[in-house]
Structure 1
Amino acid sequence: MRTVHFALAATAALGLAACSTTGPANKLLTLDGNPPLVIAHRGASGQLPEQTLEAYARAVELGADVIEMDLVSTKDGVLIARHDPNLAISTDVAKHPRFASRKKTIKVDGETQTGWFSNDFTLAEIKTLGGISTDPERPQDFNGKFKIPTFQEIIDFAKAKSKETGRTIAIYPETKNPTYFRDLGLPMEDKVIAAINAAGWNSKTAPIYVQSFEPGSLKYMKAKGLKTRLIQLIDGDGIDMKTGAMTYAVPVDRPYEWTKAGDKRNFDVMVTPAGLAEIKTYADGIGPWKRYIVSIKGSIGSDGKPLDVNKDGKINDADATSVSPTTLVADAHKAGLFVHPFTFRNESRRLAADYNKDGRNEYAVYYKLGVDGVFTDFPDTAIAARADYLKSLGR
């Protein structure tokens, strides 16, 4: 059973928060009282192939505060920036005949996948591949033109851009599928720590946030001396259009380490007060799927199925409307955890109908709730919405 508590009158709650004894009406509701961060999710991935230096450069150019990347391992143990071990998803590996024989079908975190996997390729081989856009609605002109960077190259990039721009560009690496790689004899945590130590960034104030969906990965790094800010990611599979409740399915039902251990709980236990208190023992913040904060509900037909409200032949977020926010942001702040929800995108199919096909309207809701940052594929939209929000507060 889900135990996220839905606010009965979200707008009233926001009004009370604004005029309470905690401060004036223009007070920000973030944990530290500062404006929310704009975190470029895999770079400016709405415009350029994700997790390439070019996508990160575009994000910096657009004004992002932070650039985010997922780390997977090569066969020779080098950490590279890819969202999935399966290279078929975000690279042009299928167009390289020399690698045709490496295509295979395996299980990754319990999910059967067919493709080419990073752990079967050396870094030198990875460097012959190009990144591609993972969304057909996004520009395809740059597919295959930009190479896959290593974690170290991104660290060097962020330092250089910080010096060049005169503003601190933070990075936000994720240990991706850590149990999968550990089982292959390619654990990544010690390498992450070593790279951070070498960068001189092993502190709470350093321009870096380290994230993972697996608590064990974060706990291990903390125990091994990692002192950076740590973030527990919290996933879900989808939304029941009838009820607005979270649904769960492999591989995003629970941390895979829980599945291996026979723990049948789903991610939703993490957003209860008890779950948040547990997270606080090893992390500094949470990165929940945004639907844990504001869910959606669709219109249901007489046959019990969701209606294609906009008549585009598909059922998606555009056929649904937002429901009242949960208390997750306030609950996390009460536990001393900051909140960075994911992922905000501009495509109309990913925006509830009440946002009127304008992503800025969605950001406004979350900013008013006090989120401490947002993961976004379109940092320019998030920045524009933040400016509007701050202006509305007279800041």
Structure 2
Amino acid sequence: MLKGMSNNLFRKTPIAQLLAASVFTGLMLSSAVAVSAEAPGKTLSEKIGLPWPAVIAHRGASFDAPEETIPAYTVARELGADYLEMDIQRTKDGVLIALHDDTLVRTTNVAEVFPARAKDPVSTFTLAELKQLDAGSWFNKAYPDRARASYAGLQILTLDEVIDIAEGGSNKPGLYIETKVPAQFPGIEADLKKNLEKRGWLTSRPAADAGHVNVAHMPGRVVLQTFEKPSLELLQQEMPQVPKVLLLWIGEGSIEPKSNVAFKDSGFKDKASYYGAQEVKSEAEFAAWMDWAKAHGAIGTGPSTKLTHGGDQSYMDLVKPWMNKMAHDKGLVVHPYTVDDEVDFKKVSDDGVDGFFTNRASELLKFYGRPAKESMDAILKRNGY
């Protein structure tokens, strides 16, 4: 419409041409202002050097493959996710590994291999001991409809092995790294800096070929995240130029709730319903967390989300429109966790967020109009799974 209108106007007299140019310029400026007003997080993301809206593959493509394993991260990379997201812990012998839980029972066969140590913290195991564990078979038992025989025997990965995957394809995703239970690993922030520095991720990286994910070449190639205020301070101290996100929760050690009634006393039958009913104590309390995050180096927040269909990843609703607006007004981007369904992609996007942590990168990419060129099955089979 604008193109047709401008062509007609510019065929007129010189005065008309000037008027037409003014009208056209005004319309374009109005359009730009409208886009900016609709998506303040886009402007912030571009300024920081982050993709917008961001597709953050939570523990890899963890809906379709065992979390934080080779196939999960390889699939996420091949699908076209912007970031490979991981949780970093440290072995007894000082190696950084990618693993979510601080014990091994849920996602490995530790009870069979080390029965007397099954409930011991990850930090009490050496890398060699961890590499003996099967980190894939649990997935086949938990999700038989997505099971693959090739998942049996998958290993826990080191940070270096995840970086190898990020670097190993035509797509060049970034790294979105959480310091997990950092109080158990004094100095892990400094260790992380050394590792990233050694691998060349704290300076500019080569660009991907045209038509491929190029986040590793952007200033926001690495994003550091944590729930813990002391860890954010240490990450800022070690890597002041690297974007950081403060993850948000309601409860002990995080945002103060309006009600302190415990789950066991609440009358709710499931945790999702209980979490979904939790509210922040006040707008001022929420603002205080935003201000603290900003003052200590964060460029964004990672808030929890209440999901339409509930489930074990449905938590508190910390992505209400006023919350997202407050974050943006304070110069913070908003990357909520962990959203997998289109109904929630749409609702929460409409409320003003800047991307998502998702277990289903394939579905989020479709929602954003960036569908993968291959099916999930084809990618898995091509990579030996």
State the TM bucket, normalised to the shorter chain. 0.5 to 0.7
C-alpha contact (below 8 Å) 1:65/1:170 kept by paired residues: yes
Q: Percent identity?
A: 31
* Counterparts of residues 102-251 of structure 1 (less than 5 Å): 102-103=117-118, 115-132=119-136, 133=138, 136-137=142-143, 139-142=146-149, 143-161=151-169, 165=170, 167-182=171-186, 187-202=187-202, 205-236=219-250
Equivalent position to 1:378, from 360, 363, 385: 360
Distance in structure 2 (CA, Å) of the matches to 1:79 and 1:323? 31
Question: Which amino acid in 1 is paired with 2:288?
Answer: A
Aligned to 1:334: 329
Distance in structure 2 (CA, Å) of the matches to 1:228 and 1:40? 19
> Which structure shows the bigger proportion of residues in strand conformation?
1
Equivalent position to 2:33, from 9, 22, 45: 22
Distance in structure 2 (CA, Å) of the matches to 1:364 and 1:69? 25
Shift, 1:323, TM fit:
12
C-alpha contact (below 8 Å) 1:39/1:68 kept by paired residues: yes
SS in 1 for 2:142: coil
Q: Which structure would you say has the larger Rg?
A: 2
SS in 1 for 2:154: coil
Aligned to 2:115: 100
Aligned to 1:89: 106
Aligned to 1:274: 288
Which TM-score applies when normalising by structure 1?
A: 0.66
SS in 1 for 2:168: helix
Shift, 1:374, TM fit:
0.3
Which TM-score applies when normalising by structure 2?
A: 0.67
Question: Which amino acid in 1 is paired with 2:167?
Answer: K
Change (3 A) 1:249 1:55: farther
Bigger shift: 59-68 or 379-388? 379-388
Shift, 1:274, TM fit:
2.5
Shift, 1:82, TM fit:
0.5
Question: Which amino acid in 1 is paired with 2:142?
Answer: P
Shift, 1:380, TM fit:
0.7
Question: Which amino acid in 1 is paired with 2:132?
Answer: T
Runs (4+) of structure 1 moved beyond 6 Å? Answer: 244-250, 266-271
Change (3 A) 1:231 1:129: same
Change (3 A) 1:287 1:246: farther
Computed over aligned residues only, the root mean square deviation of the Cα atoms, in angstroms, reads: 3.7
SS in 2 for 1:273: helix
Distance in structure 1 (CA, Å) of the matches to 2:280 and 2:241? 25
Change (3 A) 1:123 1:90: same
C-alpha contact (below 8 Å) 2:111/2:117 kept by paired residues: no
Aligned to 2:6: none
SS in 2 for 1:210: strand
Aligned to 1:63: 80
C-alpha contact (below 8 Å) 1:236/1:248 kept by paired residues: no
Question: Which amino acid in 1 is paired with 2:41?
Answer: T
C-alpha contact (below 8 Å) 2:304/2:318 kept by paired residues: no
Question: Which amino acid in 1 is paired with 2:67?
Answer: E
Change (3 A) 1:380 1:246: farther
C-alpha contact (below 8 Å) 1:29/1:368 kept by paired residues: no
C-alpha contact (below 8 Å) 2:303/2:318 kept by paired residues: no
Equivalent position to 2:52, from 21, 24, 35: 35
Change (3 A) 1:83 1:20: same
Distance in structure 1 (CA, Å) of the matches to 2:71 and 2:62? 10
Shift, 1:245, TM fit:
7.7
Distance in structure 1 (CA, Å) of the matches to 2:82 and 2:199? 19
> Which structure shows the bigger proportion of residues in helix conformation?
2
Q: Which has the higher contact order (CA 8 A, sep 6+)?
A: 1
C-alpha contact (below 8 Å) 2:42/2:52 kept by paired residues: no
Question: Which amino acid in 2 is paired with 1:273?
Answer: A
Shift, 1:51, TM fit:
0.2
Aligned to 1:287: 302
Distance in structure 1 (CA, Å) of the matches to 2:313 and 2:62? 21
What CA deviation, in whole Å up to 9, does each residue of 1:131-181 have, x standing for no partner?
1356934634355331111011112221223xxx1x431011110001123
SS in 2 for 1:23: helix
Shift, 1:215, TM fit:
1.3
Change (3 A) 1:52 1:316: closer
SS in 2 for 1:30: helix
What CA deviation, in whole Å up to 9, does each residue of 1:289-340 have, x standing for no partner?
023xxx77xxxxxxxxxxxxx9xxxx86999xx9993411111011111111
Aligned to 1:6: none
Aligned to 1:368: 350
C-alpha contact (below 8 Å) 1:233/1:288 kept by paired residues: yes
Distance in structure 2 (CA, Å) of the matches to 1:79 and 1:219? 20
Shift, 1:25, TM fit:
9.5
What CA deviation, in whole Å up to 9, does each residue of 1:117-142 have, x standing for no partner?
31221101111112135693463435
Distance in structure 1 (CA, Å) of the matches to 2:98 and 2:318? 35
Change (3 A) 1:160 1:267: farther
C-alpha contact (below 8 Å) 1:284/1:337 kept by paired residues: yes
